Amino acid sequence: MMRDLDEICYEKVHYFVRGRHQVLVFVTARNATTKLAMTFRDEAAKKGELDDFLPVSMGSVQYTNAAKTVQSCRNSLLSELFRFGFGIHHAGLPRRERLVVEKLFANGHISVLFCTSTLAWGINLPAHAVVIRGTEIFDAQKGAFTDIGVLDVQQIFGRAGRPQYESSGSVSSIAEAVEWLKYTYFYIRAKLNPLSYGISRKDLADDPNLDEYLAKLVTGAATKLDLSQMIRFDSLNGYMSSTDLGRIASNFYVKYETVDVFMNGLQGQKLEEFMTDDMILSLIASAKEFNQIKVREEETEELEQLAATSCPLRLKMGALSTVPGKINCLMQAYISRAFIRSYSLLSESMFIQQNSSRLCRAMFEVTLRRGWAQAANATLAMAKCLDRKVWQFQTPLRYRFYAFCAV
């Protein structure tokens, strides 16, 4: 079945690249990007269609320079796939290499980019066509495969012919939000296949434009955001207004569930007027952005070694058997510049460091708005530690030394 899916995906993508168009292919796992790219390469070679995937810029000075840039990347697969007009993009790649791939695709040097949903959020990288290969994704919390979320699908579809204008917008009432939803593919799909969205045929007959359904949907979302203090929602007249907390969450791409954890607490931990380094790291480790991180038995030994040698802030007994404890350990190991042997741990460490600094900066902005001087100073100091990979108790010359060695 998977082989049939790959063949169908190949035919769809080949149809577009023959017309000299760029295509984004979204998969549900990081290793699937490489696996599918190799499958495409082998299939194209078998059918004698490799030339169809070569970019239009092939042979130009810009393409030659791009090829040299790719060869300097640590991941040799990027250079290997680039020769065939392919590229891969996922959160496991170092930030520098992801930026290189994004630039190459934006400049037309890559015809087909195989990526995960990471690319769909917050990155303006449009393509002529978008193909989603498979809709099942592994949910670490449930321990089973589930369908990809509707929001992810909407974001992915938004890559196809994405407009390069209208950089911002606002919604101030339920009526405006309902009107906005009617311009989305979600609305089109809900009308065509109402049963998949919990809408009965009778409800559709009584409300053919789905106004009541959309209003109920938006009201539920607004109520949740109001409870998280991210907006102020007047349920009587349907008007909404943003708060400082909501604007901070928007600026730093923080999930509303994470904001709820920060402000209302989880297991007795929340953002307070007085914060210690332990409290800050524990709170960041509880963020919902890290839901995909899971504890693996084969990593326990290395995590214990990292905790013993590279974690100046001691972890609680048994913490490494929990996801927040593992995240806390990897954050401290990152700041301590510890060497990580396991590739899976290294990949997760990169993902954690990409998000932890951003979340810490968001916490700093919140404490600043609240007027909590000590907490603001502590969160800012921790954000600098995450950015510079140097602890507060270490001399700043250590950072200068590492910067000099990197040159």
Do 355 and 291 share a structural domain? yes
Structure tokens that stand for 23 in this block: 């295509």
Domain boundary at 158, 190, 214, which?
158
Give a yes or no: residue 327 inside a domain: yes
| CATH number of the domain residue 234 falls in | 1.10.10.10
Domain boundary at 191, 215, 242, which?
242
Do 268 and 133 share a structural domain? no
Do 323 and 179 share a structural domain? no
Q: Select the more confidently predicted residue: 38 or 162.
A: 38
Which of 255, 256, 221 has its CA nearest to residue 238? 221
- State the residue range of the domain holding 211: 174-242
Cα separation values, 254 from 246, 261, 352, Å: 9, 11, 14
| CATH number of the domain residue 367 falls in | 1.10.3380.10
Q: Select the more confidently predicted residue: 190 or 139.
A: 190
Which of 134, 115, 192, 126 has its CA nearest to residue 158? 126
Do 154 and 126 share a structural domain? yes
Per residue in 129-173, pLDDT tens? 888 887 666 566 666 666 666 666 666 665 555 444 334 445 556
The pLDDT assigned to 407 comes to 44
Do 179 and 133 share a structural domain? no
Give a yes or no: residue 286 inside a domain: yes
Do 98 and 36 share a structural domain? yes
Which of 218, 228, 303, 222 has its CA nearest to residue 265? 228
The pLDDT assigned to 163 comes to 43
Centre a 10 Å sphere on the Cβ of residue 402 and count the other Cβ atoms it contains.
13
The mean pLDDT of 38-66, rounded to a whole number, is 89
Q: Check if the beta carbon of residue 214 is closer than 8 Å to that of residue 147.
A: no
Percent of the chain exceeding pLDDT 90 equals: 28
Give a yes or no: residue 164 inside a domain: no
Residue 182 has pLDDT above 60, yes or no: yes
Per residue in 317-343, pLDDT tens? 888 999 999 999 999 999 999 999 888
Q: Which helix (H) or strand (E) is 130 found in, with range?
A: strand 129-132
The mean pLDDT of 219-231, rounded to a whole number, is 87
Percent of the chain exceeding pLDDT 70 equals: 84
SS3 category, 331: helix
As a whole number of angstroms, the distance between CA 203 and CA 121 comes to 33
| Residue 339 identity | F
The mean pLDDT of 105-112, rounded to a whole number, is 90
Give a yes or no: residue 168 inside a domain: no
The pLDDT assigned to 167 comes to 40
Q: Across the chain, what does the average pLDDT equal?
A: 83
Q: How many domains does the chain have?
A: 3
Do 331 and 200 share a structural domain? no
The pLDDT assigned to 404 comes to 53
The mean pLDDT of 187-211, rounded to a whole number, is 85
The pLDDT assigned to 37 comes to 92
Do 80 and 103 share a structural domain? yes
| CATH number of the domain residue 22 falls in | 3.40.50.300
The pLDDT assigned to 231 comes to 87
Do 337 and 291 share a structural domain? yes
The pLDDT assigned to 210 comes to 87
Do 284 and 330 share a structural domain? yes
Domain boundary at 184, 207, 242, which?
242
Give a yes or no: residue 154 inside a domain: yes
Per residue in 232-255, pLDDT tens? 888 877 788 888 898 898 889 898
Which of 233, 229, 212, 353 has its CA nearest to residue 290? 353
Pairing of strands 112-115, 86-89: parallel
Give a yes or no: residue 100 inside a domain: yes
The pLDDT assigned to 375 comes to 95
Which of 123, 54, 133, 128 has its CA nearest to residue 95? 123
Pairing of strands 129-132, 86-89: unpaired
Give a yes or no: residue 251 inside a domain: no
Do 33 and 90 share a structural domain? yes
The pLDDT assigned to 154 comes to 61
Do 119 and 7 share a structural domain? yes
Per residue in 73-100, pLDDT tens? 888 889 899 999 999 988 788 888 888 9
pLDDT band at 403 (very low <50, low <70, confident <90, very high): low
Which of 157, 144, 96, 88 has its CA nearest to residue 116? 88
Per residue in 10-25, pLDDT tens? 988 998 888 888 888 8
As a whole number of angstroms, the distance between CA 62 and CA 287 comes to 42
The pLDDT assigned to 381 comes to 94
Give a yes or no: residue 248 inside a domain: no
